[in-house]
Amino acid sequence: MIKVFLVLVFWAISLSASTLHVENWAKGETFLTFLEKNKLPLDIYYNLDREEQELATEIMSGIKYQILKNEDDVIEQVMIPIGEELQLHLIKDGDNYNLTTTPISFQEEKLIVTIEIKHSPYQDIINETNNYLLAHEFIQAFKNSVNFKRLRKGDRVVIFYTKRTRLGRQFGSPKIEASMVEVRGRKNYVFSYNKGRFYDSKGKEVEGFFLAKPVNYYRVSSKFTYKRWHPILKRYRAHLGIDYAARRGAPIKAAGNGKIIQLGRKGGYGKTITIRHDNGYKTLYAHMKGYKKGMKCGKWVKKGQTIGYVGSTGISTGPHLHFGLYKNNRAINPNSVVKVTKSKLSGKKRKEFFTYIKQYKEKIEVALNDYKNPTKEKSFDYIVSLDSIKETIQ
């Protein structure tokens, strides 16, 4: 009993001594300027290897991070999320600091919501669930195959989705598994299949974002991964893009139509261009030797247009293009969208698809007749501030 009491006392003392601050990563802030600003040793950054410096460059403006300070205002720990899976974790160790990457822990829950249209699907989903991101995902999934203006009052919507929760709050974007929307009583479906792409009930892909290959390459020198355990380094690693090994000076082409929103040096990525496309997508081109003449922030570029040349600026071992793809500010695997045309499932895959969607169609019928919607979301833990998510929708 005494032991428990002592533990509690120590716990209380340590709590009172340290304070936790939650802050937003400012626009233009880099990991290096962050260390400088907080008078932390800059070696923390310079001692990182190539892949880790790239990761440190992935910290997004608007992201929420946590700082634990002691009573003397000395930083004891910092936790900065990179995407939805990993975080940089800085821990004070005597006079030094150790930097590691730790997985962000979360729970996943599968939910179903059924809604009758009163105003608009977007507004009604928010009214029913208080889940802004779910409404956003829903609109994106259907926007190329359904004309929302034709919907009438009384049309219905069913959404099967997976939600992540962290410390009791919704965390990150929900993922739609299957959904149905009636347009004047006629049912339209989307199903997430084949690495999270959306297909209609005939097996035709409906979400229209297709990228061109950004460079002619010899080989892929590093694949995309959210999180993998490195058994020798004994820590988690991630690579939020694809590295294409290519000839120095080879032209880099815009993977899609869009507007250049960033051009310049970007930490471990060296000379970098970021392009914003429709539907909340962004592409990033790093380690460039140089930019094509005339490229600047605010310029609109066409799919296939040369924007720069392959090099090895930043932390890079040889000439290659690091190519990143982001949807709503979340890094996704470019392999899922780099292709020429919309895909239509055929042969065995098509057969498997129909078996797969049959169960969902049956469940949707059940959900239309007898449903109990999940309780409304009370609080969110947005990975990126709501403002920067809204920015990508416009």
Closest CA to 80 of 60, 108, 53: 60
Candidate segments 34-42, 91-99, 236-244, 327-335, binder of Zn ion by CB under 5 A: 236-244
Binding positions for Zn ion, 11-50, rule CB under 5 A: none
Candidate segments 78-86, 92-100, 315-323, 364-372, binder of Zn ion by CB under 5 A: 315-323
Closest CA to 375 of 12, 132, 8, 113: 113
Per-residue binder mask for Zn ion (CB under 5 A), 238-267, x = binder:
-----x------------------------
Of 254 and 321, which CB lies nearer to Zn ion in the complex structure? Answer: 321
Closest CA to 286 of 304, 265, 305, 301: 265
Q: Coil, helix or strand for 47? A: coil
Of 126 and 331, which CB lies nearer to Zn ion in the complex structure? Answer: 331
Of 170 and 272, which CB lies nearer to Zn ion in the complex structure? Answer: 272
Whole-number minimum distance, CB 31 to Zn ion, in Å? 16
Candidate segments 109-117, 132-140, 200-208, 318-326, binder of Zn ion by CB under 5 A: 318-326
Whole-number minimum distance, CB 233 to Zn ion, in Å? 17
Candidate segments 40-48, 180-188, 190-198, 316-324, binder of Zn ion by CB under 5 A: 316-324
Instruction: Indicate the pairing of strand 169-171 with strand 156-166.
Output: antiparallel
What are the angstrom distances between the C-alpha of 73 and each of 19, 67, 70?
A: 9, 11, 5
Residue 76, token pair as written in the block: 């004891």
36: left (phi over 0), alpha (psi -120 to 50) or beta: alpha
Choice from 156, 271, 282, 322 touching Zn ion (CB under 5 A): 322
Number of residues interacting with Zn ion: please give it, by CB under 5 A: 2
Whole-number minimum distance, CB 54 to Zn ion, in Å? 5
- What residue number has its CB nearest to Zn ion? 322
Of 156 and 322, which CB lies nearer to Zn ion in the complex structure? Answer: 322
Instruction: Indicate the pairing of strand 380-381 with strand 169-171.
Output: parallel
The residues facing 23 across adjacent strands are 65
Of 197 and 322, which CB lies nearer to Zn ion in the complex structure? Answer: 322
Whole-number minimum distance, CB 189 to Zn ion, in Å? 37
Contacts of 134 (CB under 8 A, 6+ apart): 113, 125, 159, 161, 174, 176
Question: Is residue 271 part of the contact set for Zn ion (CB under 5 A)?
Answer: no
Give the interface with Zn ion as residue ranges (CB under 5 A): 243, 322
